[in-house]
Structure 1
Amino acid sequence: MKLKQFFFKIILATLIALLPFSMVNYIVDPYQFYRQPGFYKPVYFNDQRYQNPGLARTQDYSLAIIGTSMTDNFLLSYVNNALNRKIVKLSMMGASMYEQKLMANVVIRTQKADTIIYELNYFSFRGGSERVTQTGKGFPYYMYQGGIMSHFKYLCNPETLLRSYQILLKHYKGIRHYTMVEDLEKYNTWYYNSKFAMENAIKDWNLAQNDLKRADPEEFTWKYIKDNTDKNLINLIKSNPDTEFILFYPPFSILIHKFLDNRDLFHKEIKLKQYIFENTRNLENVKIYDFQDLEEITHNLDNYRDMTHYSIEINEYIIDSIAKGQHIVNDENIEQKLENLITQVAEYKVES
């Protein structure tokens, strides 16, 4: 009995000690977990895995964009105008399919968006079906979960307190932390400080040849790829029939497909596309857009800063195509589009 009382007192004392810090975190709410800022000018932190759940919870939108860094340069104003929708962009550098599913579930729980533009990046399907990116701070699962513990972990977290301090420092002293962005339009965009040129794409090709981490065959087993597809994509879509999923394959340069082919991984990429199509073709809440066989884009290496990342003009082309309903995959063109890409990869000669 005395032991129980002792532990109860310890827990109570801990909660009392944490209360002032929790109150600061609740009032400042640095990641906008509860509300958009009221007493200070909004800022956004570039640690996407922390910031994005807050944006999904408190921004005003009817359409969400979820993906990797390939979606970073979708400008809110451009998408809003092209699609006549209020959007929130929730891109995460190097996101796995599991991370994208976690993000989508936050969006769906808010009941704000009836449509999600959802990137299908072959590299996101690698590894285990619960793979996350572990930064120095770990992955903030609590930001993506419901329940009282998610609130407790957010409010009592030293990371939240640090961000609260940085916001107060900016508000009262004018000292802006380097991870802050004041304009949501520019949040995690990089088009303005990147050089898109053939030389950079070829340089990346050369650097990747002896870099196993760029595409480790052990991470690209068909079991991993299929598990990620079933658990993190197909189940998500089938479980949410009232949400429209606009899936798209980003237009990587032809170099990356050639690189994957050299590592005997390209045929699994094609198999993945076939598998996704077969398992979504009869679902009314899915459209698939495939830009990877568009030679006028993917063979023009001046569109790229490396083998995969493309210029903002390509982001705009993707949105314009979605607005016009162009490059949709269907029963009539699926085989031809796959054959186009297979032929292009087989015939392409890299001038390195």
Structure 2
Amino acid sequence: MSGKKFIMLFFSSVIGLVGTIALAFYILDPLFYYRDEGLIEPQYNADARYQMPGLLRNKEYETLITATSMGRNFREDYVDDTLNTESLNGSLASSYAKEQSMVAQFALQENEQLNHVIWELNFYSFAEDPEKVLDSATPFPTYMYDDSKLNDIKYLFHSYNVRLAANNVLANVSNDELRRNPEELYKFGQVAPEESIERIDGWLQRAPELQEYPENETKEVMIASFKENVIQVIEDNPDTTFTFFYAPYPVYNQHRYYLQHNRYLEERLAFKEEVFELLSQYDNAELYDFQDQKEITFDAGNYMADAVHYYEYINEYIINTIASEDPVTSKTAYDQQLENLKNQVINFNVDQLRNVGYVNRDETEEDVVSMNQ
């Protein structure tokens, strides 16, 4: 065999091998990126950042939720019944604003039926460079969230997917039912340790005082990310309704930041004020703010023992409010909300806390009103 023929045969073999591998992964589609179901029954991946594009592309929904872990416990069936819609929860734990924006943009690009986006506004998500994404054990798969077909080759040849494909096949052979139901994916807290006022008291006493305020936590940094990652999406999709909300973090969480450096409160309130002014310019944007609602935030029984996450019934409360109450429309009223939050955080002490849990409360309407005064 001549050298020329050998080289041609070699390259033909390589191309054939590469093509075979690409075709095999396209058919197996371990993350169900191209189709809802392939040759095998789906067993979804535990890494939401890799699994989400396939869900966004192939599931049927009219309403999308994009959020951090504060949104992961929105159950689609509850959202559907309450808002009379068909929804998909696209929340990514610990996500930056860029990641949430990519989720929203990819969904809007892939799904013509999508007309409502529910979007959590989280200080931590915006307190970084506008382009920042979370890289964990594997790099964030940005290529899966764009509209380029060329870089799909990264998906077809990614070594990470070899293990996923093998796990999917084995799960089907062994009848492993783990992670079959997409609505149960990424939900958490059902067996989380309960919060206690004693633990909160000790946690606050151990709050380290910062000598210098973090540069990335300023209003300017957060607003820059907000404009790039949120406002641009609103402007590009004028026929889509965007419902934004601030999750009801426990007041002791906000107070601890205030103890560490009082500028945390100042910068966050300034951020919220400017966000309201920006959103007020768009007819397709609305805002809900739950952070000064004492009946929730002063009740330690509503929260898991991490001083951050609330139980699933608070997610239901948020959806109920969006369904039945008007968003913030008056600057005067919102200024009062921000003033309420400021006073709650500054004047907080542990003796003000309850520990009964929102769902189990028996207060009358008058009791709830008095707690908010």
TM-score (norm: length of structure 1):
0.89
1:276-314 deviations in Å (ceiling 9; x for gaps): 111111211001010001000001011111222101110
- One-letter identity of the residue aligned with 1:76: E
In structure 1, the residue matched to 2:151 is 150
Question: Does 1:257 find its partner at 2:257?
Answer: no
Tell whether the 8 Å contact from 2:72 to 2:187 is kept in structure 1 after alignment. Answer: yes
Q: Distance in 2 between matches of 1:248 and 1:59?
A: 24
Question: 2:55 maps to what in 1?
Answer: 55
Counterpart CA distance in 2 for 1:47 and 1:203 is 35
Does residue 31 of structure 1 match 2:31? yes
Deviation at 1:206, TM superposition (A): 4.6
The offset of 1:350, in angstroms, is 3.5
**Offset from partner CA, 1:173-228 (integer Å, 9 cap, x none):** 3357xxx511222110013121332358617945972498xx97232133321211
Describe how 1:81-120 pairs up with structure 2 within 5 A. 81-110=81-110, 111-120=112-121
Corresponding residue for residue 142 of structure 2:
141
Q: Which structure has the larger Rg over C-alpha atoms?
A: 2
CA-based RMSD of the aligned residues comes to: 2.6
Residues paired across the two proteins, number? 342
Corresponding position of 1:289: 288
Greater shift after overlay, 13-22 or 72-81? 13-22
Deviation at 1:241, TM superposition (A): 1.0
Which SS does the other structure have where 1:248 is aligned?
Answer: strand
Q: How far apart, CA to CA, are the structure 2 residues paired with 1:349 and 1:194? A: 25
Residue 194 of structure 2 aligns to which amino acid in structure 1?
Answer: F
Once the two structures are TM-superposed, the CA of residue 94 in structure 1 deviates from its matched residue by 0.5
Q: What amino acid does structure 2 have at the position aligned with 1:80?
A: D
* Structure 2 residue matching 1:233: 3-state secondary structure: helix
What are the Cα deviations for residues 240-286 of structure 1, in whole angstroms up to 9, with x where unaligned? 21111000000000012112222221111111111111111121100
1:112 CA displacement: 3.0
Asked whether 1:19 is paired with 2:19, we answer yes
CA distance in 2, matches of 1:83, 1:204: 41
In the TM superposition, residue 114 of structure 1 has moved relative to its aligned partner by 0.7
**Would you say 1:231 and 2:228 are equivalent positions?**
yes
Cα contact 2:204–2:256 (8 A) shared by 1: no
Q: Residues 121 and 245 of structure 2 are in contact (CA less than 8 Å); yes or no, is this contact kept in structure 1? A: yes
Q: Judge which range, 243-252 or 263-272, deviates more.
A: 263-272
In the alignment, residue 128 of structure 1 is paired with which amino acid? D
- Runs of 4+ off more than 6 Å: 6-12
**Aligned ranges for residues 1-352 of structure 1 at < 5 Å?**
14-110=14-110, 111-174=112-175, 181-199=179-197, 202=200, 205-206=203-204, 209-210=207-208, 217-262=214-259, 263=261, 264-305=263-304, 306-326=306-326, 328-350=328-350
Query: What are the superposed Cα offsets for residues 26-57 of structure 1, whole Å, 9 maximum, x if unpaired?
Result: 11212221111144333221201111111100
**In structure 1, what residue type is equivalent to 2:308?**
T
Which residue in 1 is equivalent to 2:370? Answer: none
5+ long unaligned stretches in structure 1: 1-5
8 A contact 1:241–1:285 mirrored in 2: yes
Q: Distance in 1 between matches of 2:18 and 2:53?
A: 23
Aligned pair in 2 of structure 1 residues 7, 188: CA closer, same or farther (>3 Å)? farther
How many angstroms apart in 2 are the aligned matches of 1:211 and 1:39?
57
Looking at both structures, which has the greater relative contact order when contacts are Cα pairs under 8 Å and sequence separation is at least 6?
A: 1
2:223 touches 2:275 (CA, 8 Å); kept in 1?
no
SS in 2 for 1:270: helix
User: Is the CA contact (8 Å cut-off) linking 1:126 and 1:224 kept in structure 2?
Assistant: yes
Whether the 8 Å contact between 1:21 and 1:161 is mirrored in structure 2 is: no
Task: Note the C-alpha offset of 1:19.
Answer: 2.3
Identity, in percent, stands at 30
CA distance in 2, matches of 1:71, 1:39: 32
Provide the rounded CA distance (Å) in 2 between the counterparts of 1:86 and 1:200: 42
Structure 1 CA distance, aligned partners of 2:135 and 2:7? 33
Partner of 2:331: helix, strand, or coil?
Answer: coil
